[in-house]
């Protein structure tokens, strides 16, 4: 006999367009809670003279199994689940941008089409006047933004042409709210600290929705949860498998 306190790695294999695409993880799960659901009892009661009030039949209808995961991992692979989004890897090339048309507003920032820009040239729409960084405008090269200065030669809402060379960039991009739910196979691979036996939990398919906020200005690490129903797929006899391995 033994108690159960589990240290485990959690992995999620997202299902997209009916197909699983590989496990993300390991995820630092601060909670991994499974419930087999609350059963419902349906009874048939006697209204006959000699057995009035007695139970004639009783049927127990099992409840649906559920899973709750909480994590403080915020890597893009994991954050896509919180944002119900689509994760893609993007690469920015270093092709020079010539005469990109923007509108400049005095004292306000205008975003360029790329970030991490260098060798920036700003001209009026006719291309006859070249403006000076620090005198006519301020450049945030990392963010790729330009702010015309009221003390310079630009006018408000002026049409400008900007030329620049962007630096090479790789990024992981999440487009949020592209799904209404997360469907995933979920696996926990761990150790029972009470007896040092290996523990494995495999949820064949979970239909999950996120909870929590993406507080980027908070003073604590981001935490969020995923919770929902476990499905029993065709060919399986139950929604999950628990193994204690000697």
CA 66, CA 38: separation in Å to the nearest integer? 10
Average pLDDT over residues 205-214: 92
Asked if residue 228 and residue 114 are part of one domain, the reply reads: no
| The domain boundary residue, chosen from 132, 167, 202 | 167
Question: Residue with structure tokens 């604590």?
Answer: 220
The pLDDT-based confidence of 213 (bands split at 50, 70, 90) is confident
pLDDT by residue (tens digit) across 48-74? 999 999 999 999 998 899 999 999 999
Residue 144: other Cβ atoms inside 10 A: 20
Q: Considering the domain boundaries, does residue 140 fall inside one?
A: yes
Q: Considering the domain boundaries, does residue 154 fall inside one?
A: yes
Contact between residue 244 and residue 195 where contact means Cβ atoms under 8 Å apart: no
Q: Considering the domain boundaries, does residue 104 fall inside one?
A: yes
pLDDT of residue 84: 96
Asked if residue 98 and residue 74 are part of one domain, the reply reads: no
Asked if residue 101 and residue 221 are part of one domain, the reply reads: no
CA 239, CA 241: separation in Å to the nearest integer? 7
CA 137, CA 130: separation in Å to the nearest integer? 11
| The domain boundary residue, chosen from 146, 167, 188 | 167
Q: Considering the domain boundaries, does residue 1 fall inside one?
A: no
Q: Considering the domain boundaries, does residue 75 fall inside one?
A: yes
Q: Considering the domain boundaries, does residue 174 fall inside one?
A: no
Phi, psi of 141 (to 5 degrees): -65, -35
| The domain boundary residue, chosen from 147, 167, 187 | 167
Non-local CB neighbours of 143 within 8 Å, separated by 6+ positions: 111, 115
Average pLDDT over residues 33-39: 90
CA 77, CA 174: separation in Å to the nearest integer? 9
pLDDT at 206 over 90: yes
Asked if residue 219 and residue 185 are part of one domain, the reply reads: yes
CA 14, CA 209: separation in Å to the nearest integer? 13
DSSP three-state, residue 34: strand
pLDDT of residue 156: 97
Asked if residue 83 and residue 199 are part of one domain, the reply reads: yes
Summary count for the chain: helices (H), strands (E): 1, 19
Asked if residue 183 and residue 82 are part of one domain, the reply reads: yes
Asked if residue 78 and residue 10 are part of one domain, the reply reads: yes
Lowest mean per-residue pLDDT among 14-18, 87-91, 208-212, 215-219: 215-219
Asked if residue 229 and residue 206 are part of one domain, the reply reads: yes
Q: Considering the domain boundaries, does residue 35 fall inside one?
A: yes
pLDDT of residue 95: 93
pLDDT of residue 116: 94
Asked if residue 241 and residue 193 are part of one domain, the reply reads: yes
DSSP three-state, residue 78: helix
pLDDT of residue 10: 98
pLDDT by residue (tens digit) across 99-117? 999 999 999 999 999 999 9
pLDDT by residue (tens digit) across 122-180? 999 999 999 999 999 999 999 999 999 999 999 999 999 999 999 999 999 999 999 99
Nearest Cα residue to 205 out of 10, 14, 11, 38: 14
How many folded domains does the chain comprise? 2
The pLDDT-based confidence of 229 (bands split at 50, 70, 90) is very high
Average pLDDT over residues 220-237: 95
Asked if residue 163 and residue 53 are part of one domain, the reply reads: no
- Helical H segments across 17-174, by residue range: 76-82
Arithmetic mean of pLDDT over the chain? 95
Domain that holds residue 60: 6-87+179-245
Asked if residue 152 and residue 122 are part of one domain, the reply reads: yes
Asked if residue 184 and residue 76 are part of one domain, the reply reads: yes
């Amino acid at each position: 006999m033994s108690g159960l306190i589990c240290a485990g790695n959690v992995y999620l294999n997202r299902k997209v367009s009916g197909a699983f695409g590989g496990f993300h993880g390991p995820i630092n799960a601060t909670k991994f809670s499974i419930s087999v659901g609350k059963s419902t009892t349906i009874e048939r009661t006697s209204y006959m003279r000699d057995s009035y009030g007695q139970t004639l039949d009783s049927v127990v209808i099992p409840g649906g199994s559920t899973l709750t995961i909480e994590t403080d991992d915020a890597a893009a692979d994991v954050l896509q689940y919180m944002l119900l989004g689509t994760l893609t890897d993007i690469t920015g090339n270093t092709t020079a941008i010539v005469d990109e048309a923007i509108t400049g507003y005095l004292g306000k920032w205008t975003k360029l089409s790329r970030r991490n820009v260098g060798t920036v040239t700003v001209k009026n729409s006719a291309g006859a006047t070249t403006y000076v960084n620090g005198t006519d405008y301020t450049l945030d090269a990392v963010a790729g933004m330009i702010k015309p200065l009221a003390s310079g030669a630009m006018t408000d809402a002026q049409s400008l042409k900007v030329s620049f060379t962007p630096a090479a960039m790789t990024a992981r991009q999440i487009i949020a709210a592209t799904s209404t739910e997360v469907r995933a196979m979920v696996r926990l691979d761990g150790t029972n600290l009470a007896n040092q036996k290996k523990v494995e939990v495999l949820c064949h398919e979970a239909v999950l929705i996120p909870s929590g906020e993406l507080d980027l200005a908070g003073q604590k690490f981001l935490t969020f949860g995923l919770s929902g129903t476990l499905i029993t797929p065709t060919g399986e006899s139950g929604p999950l498998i628990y193994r204690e391995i000697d």
